[in-house]
Amino acid sequence: MSEERSFDGISHGYAPDGPPVAAPPVPIEKIVGDVVDNLSATARAEFALIEARGELALHGASRAAIWGGVAATAAGVALLALAFGAILALSPQIGPLLATVVVVSALLVIAALAAWRAHSHYGDIRTALRRDLTNEGIDDGADA
């Protein structure tokens, strides 16, 4: 069973059947078309990503608003209970009418301080949303 081994079909760095056949040149129109298709697909993917991020932000903002509303309602009810409790606690010492006036006055002072602080931070929002941060030109959105 001694078969003679032939190495005629094995390449040792050279093509056994002569030089390789060169691939036909790709037309420039096809190359440009492929580039345009790739850029178009990339742009569509970027827009889809921006849309998905926007929807996620909207979902998060709506959920935050819902739970923030629940928290604000609970805090409001707690403050009402605190005010009624303060009126009831002060009534035996100074009378119901004067106790009501004292508690309402204290709450109005607290509300005025909170409104003043909120107004000072509103200026930060206006500054952040201003088109011209250097105040060199007309700011059409600042006083609107």
* Separation of alpha carbons 91 and 139, rounded Å: 54
Q: For 48-78, b where at least 16 C-beta lie within 10 A, e where not — what string?
A: eeeeeeeeeeeeeeeeeeeeeeeeeeeeeee
Distance set, CA 24 to CA 17, 18, 35, 104, 121 (Å)? 19, 18, 20, 90, 69
What pLDDT does 14 receive? 60
> What average pLDDT score do residues 111-125 get?
83
Give buried/exposed letters for 87-102 (b at 16+ CB in 10 A, else e). beebeeeeeeeebbee
Q: What's the pTM? A: 0.47
Query: Mean pLDDT for the chain?
Result: 80
Can you give the residue ranges of every domain in the chain?
Answer: 28-129
Q: Which amino acid is at 61?
A: A
Share of the chain above pLDDT 70, in %: 74
Q: Is pLDDT above 50 for 144? A: no
CA gap 144, 126 in Å, rounded: 10
What gap in Å lies between CA 62 and CA 46, rounded to an integer? 24
Is the pLDDT reported for residue 71 higher than 70?
A: yes
Give the separation between CA 100 and CA 84, rounded to whole angstroms.
Answer: 9
Question: What pLDDT is attached to residue 141?
Answer: 52
At 16-59, the pLDDT tens digits run: 566 666 778 888 888 888 888 899 999 999 999 999 888 888 88
What pLDDT is attached to residue 122?
77
